[in-house]
């Protein structure tokens, strides 16, 4: 008998029939003798509708009132799912974020969970009930409804699992798990059966569609095993857990590609101490995430600085950079939007050398030029021309033998 | 400076533009120096959509989970209205039923308000904010969301007004007030400027479309002046208040007609003590409201018993009555669906005689047969054939000179 937290996203509860299907999954786990907590999102489309209502009245919307409005989507789903289960003869009860309670900080719209009190959930589990909790919502110290930001339901689920010391947090989704590469690009991409939290975080660009990054960080911090699996097939999916020996033997777990990158170069920056802070300070203040940063060697006291941001942030970042560049006396600012980032990821890299050079060779063989390189302990990523994205992924998937059934 | 509670129904907040319009009404009252509390329903259609979701999963739905789901409609509106006001530069804050709190009993789906704690509302009013509260919802002693039953928003508004000792509870609606008769039937029907709680209760069949009856009972009990007025014209509407001298001078305030009646007759009932209880006990237990009851004089130890119920309850009532009739040895059970109830209502009847006979004469003059008669201190009502409904209303409206501008 285990304690299982199951999380279902908006497409999994998109209509009445789908909610019934979710109920059968939760019931099956319950019937097998497990204690089951279900965390659900709003029905697909509902949150967008509510957000549109808010924007039509006030843009940007008042954060407190926005949370009051958009948190209702999940509230509808929990009540409906409880009814679907009751009809099947399973005792079930829905609990709002304020009833659990799920305590968050005071930052409306993107609140962070501070503490989940497990007592009420545990009492209901003990009474043999399936407990249903809305994702995405919490309550602050003043008793106001808060929301965790889009995709926050994953984080809710992991946080609930951590608070209850659950045996597993199952993330149900419309794909079968995490793959060695995007199956739409690589025909023999393989479902990964086990992967470490760190690898999952590095596979963000692929995983973000499936798992919210914050939830993986949370799972790693509290050591909550995640099981990413399909709502529709019932097959085993991908387990995301802490590293073990077996994982260390896998040199490369997967290949990812992120097309949502843009490159900014500042030419002939006077190379003085503090210059990087002058440039990246204002960018950070504008809440823009910088991914890779490369600074070339200094010649004549000048250097070139290149970095990447997500494409959606490009316009705003550029404005800031141009202002700063003028102030510090840089020569010019260039941008390149038609780029992509490909990466090979694997825990085993720590103990294997030659991964980077193998990657560079494979790309070179196809005539793909590498514009920037960045490495971590378990990842090598390269910025390339965007038009080569799919080709690069296929080439790397082959080069590291990911399609064959290596363990 | 007054303390005003304003209530807006679903059609008044049916879309974003209408919510903006409601905000201008609340703002105008606030700008005029009043303290303003606004109680709102769900956007038109939303509650039905949510109820349909529930019914599709579980019929009848689980009461607690039903309340969890359907209470979200109002929650959306309060947040949106708060934003609409903030955009106009007015400080506003929404408070959930659980935040006020609006404490109810434990009967989900048709909870009754037990206590409204005014402290949080008052503190916000003092800070010069417009306070926005969802109609229809409350919280029980266990901290679970409850709802008051359809149309409960009127009751919420009046209860809030009573708790705050507000100067007036304004009920905004899509008509201009309460009329001497249905303006669709009587061309010269006149808007009533002042009416007593008791008259309003008797005018239920007309008023129910505008005011929930329970809210009027509540207003009477706590002496909350109601002002029924149009969301769209801004004109003075109808004040519903406690009786005063002026009202006593008005013999007949209005004529109503209720077509939602059906008649059941039990023939040759053995006339023994306790027989009425045997018949009406099971009907009451089935939660069926009986309106008029007439028992004819007893002949040979047998009597005929006739009563009316709402048409929607007819089938169920008939089942019960047939079972009981057989048990007590009555001869037969007859029903008549094609009936209507017309009534003349007025506080002044208490001190004026001859109203009933004037009514009977007016109906007789048009050849309208009276099937049943019932009277109260301030009302005479007759069951007639339904096809004469409109004619009867017009005839009575004329007979009592309601169309002319009598005060």
Measure B75 CA to nearest chain A CA, in Å.
6
Mean pLDDT estimate for chain A: 92
Question: pLDDT tens for residues B231-283?
Answer: 999 899 999 999 988 887 788 999 999 998 999 999 999 888 888 888 999 99
Give me the mean pLDDT over the B196-224 stretch: 87
Q: Which residues in chain B are contacts of A143 at CB distance < 8 A? A: 99
Q: Which residues in chain A are contacts of B58 at CB distance < 8 A? A: 83-84, 86-87
Instruction: Tell me if residue A279 falls in helix, strand or coil.
Output: helix
The span from the CA of B9 to the CA of A68, in Å, is 19
Q: Which residues in chain A are contacts of B68 at CB distance < 8 A? A: 75, 78-79, 82, 94, 96
DSSP-derived secondary structure letter, A253? -
Beta-carbon separation of A61 and B53 below 8 A: no
Query: Is B266 found in the same domain as B233?
Result: no
Q: Which residues contact residue B361 at a Cβ distance below 8 angstroms, ignoring those fewer than 6 apart?
A: B399
Question: pLDDT tens for residues A164-207?
Answer: 999 999 999 988 999 999 999 999 999 999 999 999 998 876 66
Residue A115 lies in a domain: yes
Q: Which residues contact residue A67 at a Cβ distance below 8 angstroms, ignoring those fewer than 6 apart?
A: A108, A109, A111, A137, A144, A145, A146, A147, B79
Instruction: Tell me if residue A100 falls in helix, strand or coil.
Output: coil
Does A78 reach chain B within 8 Å, measured CB to CB? yes
Whether B207 shows a pLDDT value over 70: the answer reads no
Length of chain B (residues)? 407
Beta-carbon separation of A16 and B50 below 8 A: no
Peptide bond into A60 cis (omega under 30): yes
CATH assignment at residue B319: 3.30.2130.10
Beta-carbon separation of B86 and A53 below 8 A: no
Query: Is B313 found in the same domain as B219?
Result: no
Residue A227 lies in a domain: no
pLDDT at A377: 86
Q: Which residues in chain A are contacts of B46 at CB distance < 8 A? A: none
Residue (of B332, B327, B204, B205) closest to B264 by Cα position? B332
Residue B150 lies in a domain: yes
pTM of the predicted protein model? 0.86
Query: Is B115 found in the same domain as B226?
Result: yes
Query: Is B225 found in the same domain as B104?
Result: yes
Query: Is B125 found in the same domain as B263?
Result: no
Whether B407 shows a pLDDT value over 50: the answer reads no
Residue A372 lies in a domain: no
Q: Which residues in chain B are contacts of A84 at CB distance < 8 A? A: 57-58
Strand ranges (E), A248-403: 254-258, 261-270, 290-295, 302-310, 332-336, 339-345, 370-376, 379-385
Measure A139 CA to nearest chain B CA, in Å.
12
Residue A11, exposed/middle/buried by CB under 10 A (0-12, 13-18, 19+)? middle
Question: pLDDT tens for residues B127-164?
Answer: 999 999 999 999 999 999 999 987 799 999 999 999 99
The span from the CA of A224 to the CA of A242, in Å, is 9
Query: Is B371 found in the same domain as B307?
Result: yes
Which CA distances in Å does A340 have to A382, B306, B319? 8, 84, 74
Whether A245 shows a pLDDT value over 60: the answer reads yes
The span from the CA of A193 to the CA of A239, in Å, is 6
Instruction: Tell me if residue A329 falls in helix, strand or coil.
Output: coil
Beta-carbon separation of A58 and B96 below 8 A: no
CB count within 10 Å of CB B25 equals: 20
Give me the mean pLDDT over the A14-24 stretch: 97
DSSP β-bridge partners for residue A266: A305, A333
The span from the CA of A227 to the CA of A169, in Å, is 6
- Tokens coding B20: 């903006």
Residue A223, exposed/middle/buried by CB under 10 A (0-12, 13-18, 19+)? exposed
Question: pLDDT tens for residues B298-328?
Answer: 788 888 889 999 998 999 999 999 999 999 9
Query: Is B218 found in the same domain as B308?
Result: no
Q: Which residues in chain B are contacts of A100 at CB distance < 8 A? A: none
Beta-carbon separation of B80 and A57 below 8 A: yes
Does B44 reach chain A within 8 Å, measured CB to CB? no
Domain end (from B242, B268, B293): B242
Does B141 reach chain A within 8 Å, measured CB to CB? no
Residue A56, exposed/middle/buried by CB under 10 A (0-12, 13-18, 19+)? middle
The span from the CA of B43 to the CA of B102, in Å, is 21
Length of chain A (residues)? 407
Residue A34 lies in a domain: yes
Name the residue of chain A whose CA is nearest to B77's CA: A69
Total structural domains within chain A: 1
Query: Is B343 found in the same domain as B214?
Result: no
DSSP β-bridge partners for residue B305: B266, B295
Residue A197 lies in a domain: no
Residue pair B250/B407 in contact (Cβ under 8 Å)? The answer is yes
Q: Indicate the residue of B67, B84, B99 with minimum beta-carbon distance to A57.
A: B84
- Which H/E stretch holds residue A23? helix A16-31
Secondary structure (DSSP) of B5-57:
EEEE-TTTTSSHHHHHHHHHHHHHHHHTT-EEEEEE-PPTTHHHHHHHHHHHH
The span from the CA of B211 to the CA of B169, in Å, is 12
CB count within 10 Å of CB B387 equals: 12
Measure A12 CA to nearest chain B CA, in Å.
16
Measure B140 CA to nearest chain A CA, in Å.
13
Peptide bond into A101 cis (omega under 30): yes
Task: Measure CA of the first residue to CA of the last residue in chain B; give whole Å.
Answer: 29
Residue pair A393/A255 in contact (Cβ under 8 Å)? The answer is yes
Measure B57 CA to nearest chain A CA, in Å.
6
Give me the mean pLDDT over the B11-36 stretch: 97
Residue pair A135/A169 in contact (Cβ under 8 Å)? The answer is no
Beta-carbon separation of A86 and B68 below 8 A: no
Secondary structure (DSSP) of A31-87:
HTT-EEEEEE-PPTTHHHHHHHHHHHH-SSPPHHHHHHHHTHHHHHHHHHHHHHHHH
Whether A378 shows a pLDDT value over 70: the answer reads yes
Query: Is B364 found in the same domain as B305?
Result: yes
Half-sphere exposure of residue A140, counting CA atoms within 13 Å on the CB side?
18
Query: Is B298 found in the same domain as B234?
Result: no
Beta-carbon separation of B66 and A83 below 8 A: yes
- Tokens coding A174: 């419309």
CATH assignment at residue A59: 3.40.1160.10
Query: Is B233 found in the same domain as B294?
Result: no
Domain ranges, residue A162: 3-173
Domain end (from B181, B211, B242): B242
Residue A193 lies in a domain: no
Give me the mean pLDDT over the A67-75 stretch: 98
Beta-carbon separation of B54 and A99 below 8 A: no
Beta-carbon separation of A57 and B99 below 8 A: no
Domain end (from B220, B242, B264): B242
Q: Indicate the residue of A54, A82, A93 with minimum beta-carbon distance to B83.
A: A54
pLDDT at A62: 97
Residue B407 lies in a domain: no
Name the residue of chain B whose CA is nearest to A143's CA: B99
Beta-carbon separation of B58 and A83 below 8 A: yes
Q: Which residues in chain A are contacts of B83 at CB distance < 8 A? A: 54, 57-58, 61-62, 65-66
Top residue of B13, B49, B69 to mutate, by most chain A CBs within 10 Å, is B69
Measure A106 CA to nearest chain B CA, in Å.
16
DSSP-derived secondary structure letter, A369? P
Query: Is B138 found in the same domain as B66?
Result: yes
pLDDT at B365: 94
């Amino acid at each position: 008998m285990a304690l299982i937290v199951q999380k279902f996203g908006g497409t999994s509860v998109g209509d009445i029939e789908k909610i019934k299907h979710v109920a059968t999954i939760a019931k099956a786990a319950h019937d097998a003798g497990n204690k089951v907590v279900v965390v659900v999102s709003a029905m697909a489309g509902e949150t967008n509708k509510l957000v549109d209502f808010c924007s039509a009245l006030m843009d940007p919307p008042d954060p407190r009132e926005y949370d009051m409005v958009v948190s209702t989507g999940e509230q509808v789903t929990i009540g409906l799912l409880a009814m679907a289960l009751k009809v099947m003869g399973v005792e079930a009860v829905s609990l709002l974020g304020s009833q659990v309670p799920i305590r968050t900080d005071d930052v409306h719209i993107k609140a962070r969970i501070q503490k989940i009190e497990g007592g009420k959930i545990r009492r209901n589990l003990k009474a043999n009930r399936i407990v249903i909790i809305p994702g995405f919502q919490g309550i602050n110290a003043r008793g106001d409804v808060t929301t965790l930001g889009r995709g926050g339901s994953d984080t809710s689920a992991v946080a609930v699992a951590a608070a209850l010391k659950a045996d597993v947090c199952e993330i149900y989704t419309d794909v079968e798990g995490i793959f060695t590469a995007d199956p739409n690009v690589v025909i023999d991409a393989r479902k990964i059966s086990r992967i470490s939290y760190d690898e999952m975080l590095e596979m963000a660009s692929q995983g973000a569609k499936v798992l919210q990054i914050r939830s993986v960080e949370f799972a790693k911090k509290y050591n909550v095993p995640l099981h990413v699996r399909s709502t529709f097939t019932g097959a085993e999916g991908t387990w995301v857990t802490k590293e073990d020996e077996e994982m260390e033997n896998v040199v490369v777990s997967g290949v990812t590609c992120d097309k949502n990158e843009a490159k900014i170069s500042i030419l002939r920056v006077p190379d003085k101490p503090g210059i990087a802070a002058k440039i990246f300070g204002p960018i950070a203040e504008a809440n823009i995430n910088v991914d890779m940063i490369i600074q070339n060697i200094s010649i004549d006291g000048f250097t070139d600085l290149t970095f990447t941001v997500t494409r959606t942030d490009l316009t705003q970042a550029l404005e800031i950079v141009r202002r700063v560049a003028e102030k510090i006396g840089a020569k010019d600012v260039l941008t390149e939007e038609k780029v992509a980032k490909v990466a090979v990821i694997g825990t085993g890299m720590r103990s294997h050398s030659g991964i980077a050079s193998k990657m560079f060779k494979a790309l070179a063989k196809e005539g793909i030029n590498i514009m920037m390189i960045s490495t971590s302990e378990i990842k090598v990523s390269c910025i390339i021309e965007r038009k080569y994205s799919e080709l690069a992924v296929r080439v790397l998937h082959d080069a590291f033998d990911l399609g064959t059934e290596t363990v």
